[in-house]
A and B are shown apart, each in its own frame.
Chain A
Amino acid sequence: MDAAETQVTPPTTFATPHVVVSLRDVSVLFNSKAAVRNVTFDVQANKVTSLIGPSGSGKTTLLRAMNRLHELTPGATVTGQILLEGESIYETSVPLTVLRSRIGMVFQRPNPFPTMSIFDNVVSGLRFIGVKDKTFLAESAEKALSEAALWDSVKDRMKAPAATLSGGEQQRLCIARAMAVEPEVLLMDEPTASLDPVSTQQIEELMSTLKQFVTIVIVTHNMQQAHRISDNCAFLLMAEDRTGELIEFDSTEKIFNDPRDSRTLDYTLGRFG
């Protein structure tokens, strides 16, 4: 374990940004066939890091490995190291449930729990963790919904079923639900893929304010979106053996304007993929 090597700089030093999650030589394998291999990059605190690349390049697989959701797929294994604040998330001493409350996730399709009210949805994570205090739950709901820019429109109908919200509102509810457990990292898997342009814009605006509370890693197919919202970009591409590889990791500025690899330029300009 190379903890010393990946030891993070204290957040008080502004010269080197604080690294929340670092991936070291990470490969994800399904039944010993690699879906994505040897990925190394750092996710900086309170920044939006986007994973871009064509279908099949392993973006979502990589994202799911970051809160161990890939383990739901039989035969999936991860090699290399994923460190959260310098600690490997694959250490058996780290309880999976605690880990996932520190690294939340928002999915492609809004998935509020269909039988719960808006309020119950937002505080579901806290309740299931064991928080019983009503004041704390109410405060958390208001805080999380405000962070998700949904508080004003739902504060008078907290008891209404979550299904009565529109698609965009449902997705913001899911963001609030994830934020309520105060995660350090929020993983977003194409969070606007099933939304209309207006809702998409709202979610994008939301992310720029959200990042002061949480570090965001987002998978997106949309180049403009990655360009607009992210601070750093990881560009992945499928190699000839159909395994995803990290081609380039840099600031969004560099990736879109002055990439080191010609393939990155081709992709961001829309010449393939």
Chain B
Amino acid sequence: MTITPTPLSSQERREFIRSTSAKSYRRRAVYSRLYLSGILVALLIAFVPLASILQNVVGHGAHYITWHYLTTSQALPSIVNPNNIGGIGNALAGTAVVDLISIVIAIPVAILLSMAMFELRNRWVSAVRAAMETFIGLPSIVFGVFVYVSLVLTTHQYHAYFGSIALLFIMVPVMTINALAALESVPDTLIEAGLSLGLRPSRVMLHIILPAARARVFTGIFLAFSRAVGETAPILFVIGASQLPSLDPGKQATTLPSLMYNYLTGTYPSQRESCWGIALVLMAAVLFFNVLSRIFVARSNHQ
């Protein structure tokens, strides 16, 4: 394409631009179709393993889900009675205790931390933030090792609450970083409007910023919780094991993931089969909390 030496008239320019636009539209329409089919293929590739996991877990695990399985404690199979695996009641109780303690501590700590970090905004905060982001990326077994070395080896005991402590290392950074991002998403004009009414910064935080960021803060909490429920590595060697359901955080405990680990390395095929049931319960729990958080977020956005 060449440009004539004399400047083009408005009409000529317009025609040139329109034809270029139409040409590039036709070219892009072809690319668009190409990319779209590429995305479809990628979708299939992503969908096949997911569907296969779902099908396997539900297919193999569904028949385990009975009242008896969920409420009775695990049993030990023997050569005489190789299918005697009992239920997962003790692991459900253990999971409830370990996760409940850590979440009850993590929520206030994370929210207070995020508010403090939001208000301070100095270089120490940046350092803490960087550290937390590193924590989020660390393999969770590191926290297990830390708790094992610092608590189990010094006290020579296993406790359910040691597991909660290990989980805190996972939950608090995720919740804090998410909550901080939520607070930062609140428009400055709202904050300025509040301050201009003569409100104390604490009032502005509690009554203006926090409510406005509420939905996203809760999303972060649920996200962290969903992640912690399924964690195996950090709690595996700090909580011991309990064959009986116990809600005492000072006692030893078995959680769903730790029972699963136990069963997978167990001797009897019935134990390994039972892992499908545990996997299904875990999946259902995480799905339940995700749906709950979505409903909650949708509700608070409507208000």
Instruction: Point out residues on B near A: beta carbons under 8 Å.
Output: 1, 3, 7-8, 10, 13-14, 16-18, 20-25, 27-29
Is B17 touching A101 in the complex (CB atoms < 8 A)?
A: yes
Least distance between A31 CB and chain B CB atoms (Å): 14
B17 is contacted by which of A95, A97, A135, A181 (Cβ under 8 Å)? A181
Interface string of A175-200 (1 = CB under 8 A from B): 00000011010000000000000000
Is B20 touching A130 in the complex (CB atoms < 8 A)?
A: yes
Least distance between A92 CB and chain B CB atoms (Å): 12
B25 is contacted by which of A95, A135, A213 (Cβ under 8 Å)? A95
A97 is contacted by which of B1, B7, B10, B21 (Cβ under 8 Å)? B21
A133 to B16 Cα, complex, angstroms: 11
Is A133 touching B17 in the complex (CB atoms < 8 A)?
A: no
Beyond A95-B25, A97-B25, A136-B3, whether A129 also contacts B20 by CB under 8 A is: yes
A130 is contacted by which of B7, B14, B23 (Cβ under 8 Å)? B23
Q: Which 7 A-B pairs have the closest CB atoms?
A: A130-B24, A182-B14, A129-B21, A95-B25, A135-B3, A98-B21, A130-B20
A139 to B7 Cα, complex, angstroms: 8
Least distance between B220 CB and chain A CB atoms (Å): 26
State the majority secondary structure of interface residues on B.
helix
Least distance between A124 CB and chain B CB atoms (Å): 13
Least distance between B32 CB and chain A CB atoms (Å): 11
Is A131 touching B22 in the complex (CB atoms < 8 A)?
A: no
Residues of B within 8 A of A143 (CB): 13
Interface size on A, residues (CB 8 A): 19
Whether A140 is near chain B, meaning CB under 8 Å from some CB there, is yes
Residues of B within 8 A of A181 (CB): 17, 21
A101 to B18 Cα, complex, angstroms: 8
Sampled A-B contacts (25; CB under 8 Å)? A95-B22, A95-B29, A97-B21, A97-B25, A97-B28, A98-B18, A98-B21, A101-B18, A126-B17, A129-B21, A129-B24, A130-B23, A130-B24, A130-B27, A131-B17, A131-B20, A133-B1, A136-B3, A136-B16, A139-B8, A182-B10, A182-B13, A182-B14, A184-B14, A213-B10
Residues of A within 8 A of B29 (CB): 95
Is B17 touching A182 in the complex (CB atoms < 8 A)?
A: yes
A101 to B13 Cα, complex, angstroms: 13
Q: Which residue, of B1, B3, B16, B17, has the highest number of chain A Cβ atoms within 10 A?
A: B17
Least distance between B299 CB and chain A CB atoms (Å): 19
Is B22 touching A133 in the complex (CB atoms < 8 A)?
A: no
A182 to B17 Cα, complex, angstroms: 8
Residues of A within 8 A of B1 (CB): 133
Least distance between A181 CB and chain B CB atoms (Å): 6
A 124-150 contacts with B by CB, 8 A: 126, 129-131, 133, 135-136, 139-140, 143
Residues of A within 8 A of B16 (CB): 131, 136
Residues of A within 8 A of B7 (CB): 139
